[in-house]
Amino acid sequence: MTERIRRWVPAAAVFVAALVLWEGVVRVFDIQGFLLPAPSAIVAALATETDVLTTAAIGTFATALVGLGVGSLMAALAAFAASRWPLVREGAMPVAIAANSTPIVVLAPVANSWFGLRSMAGGVFVVAVLVFFPVMINLVRGLMSANASELELMQSYAAPRRTTLWKLQLPNALPYLFSALKVAAALSLIGAIVKEYFGGSQERLGQYITSKAALFQYEEAWAAIVVASAFGILLYLLILLIERRAMPWHVSVRRT
């Protein structure tokens, strides 16, 4: 346990030092709040705005989470199809890789006209599209990563194709899937918040940030940014936890 605590000490020290430096710079150079509020001012705003921010964050987080779920599920189905049929793979993979290289988040303002300003569906749609491509591409790579002798082994048992998928290819793909999900987790919050910048319910982080910024209440805007970061880290840790549970055998997880 003490060993684990000690491993966190450097990171905690850097974090605290950065905060102190930030606070010091703002005070010494008398930087204006609209440029960069001091950490103490942001903490004060967090305290007064706790209720509003909690509601907004939960709404945004829910959109991101549902979008992440829907997008990943669709990606998994597409990946299974692509790994199963070479024709699908050859047709879909270049398109998927091309789509993954475009800034899909630009769909955000369009989503409003498709799903209406106030529905959650628009946000879910943007997030789902955003996470779909990285998850699909990585999962296909993972499913195809079984080596020749592993496949020959299954063949020698006359294993049906779905058994090979289930018992060989899918476990083999788990490390790829989790790396993709960690990227997708960050993307999902970006997608949800950017979509909210373009309108929608006031009780969402994106709208909260834009409206507070418009009113020159930068302490509040920054408070919302801090909350968004916290939720991003939370989501990442959640996926890390599932990863450790799902593949205790993997090099990245196992302890000698």
Q: What does the binding site for another protein look like in residue numbers (CB under 8 A)?
A: 147, 149-150, 152-159, 163, 167-168, 171, 174, 247, 249-251, 254
How far is Cα 34 from Cα 219, in angstroms, rounded to an integer?
8
Q: What angle do CA 56, 57, 59 make, to 5 degrees?
A: 65
226 versus 253: smaller Cβ distance to another protein: 253
150 versus 203: smaller Cβ distance to another protein: 150
Residue 244: CB minimum distance to another protein, A: 13
Residue 241: CB minimum distance to another protein, A: 18
Residue 167: CB minimum distance to another protein, A: 7
15 versus 157: smaller Cβ distance to another protein: 157
Residue 162: CB minimum distance to another protein, A: 11
How far is Cα 159 from Cα 151, in angstroms, rounded to an integer?
10
How far is Cα 169 from Cα 90, in angstroms, rounded to an integer?
19
122 versus 175: smaller Cβ distance to another protein: 175
169 versus 201: smaller Cβ distance to another protein: 169
Tokens linked to 76: 């998994």
Residue 243: CB minimum distance to another protein, A: 13
One DSSP character per residue, 131-192 reads: HHHHHHHHHHHHHTT--HHHHHHHHHTT--HHHHIIIIIHHHHHHHHHHHHHHHHHHHHHHH
Give the count of beta carbons closer than 10 Å to the beta carbon of residue 115: 18
Three-state DSSP class for 212? helix
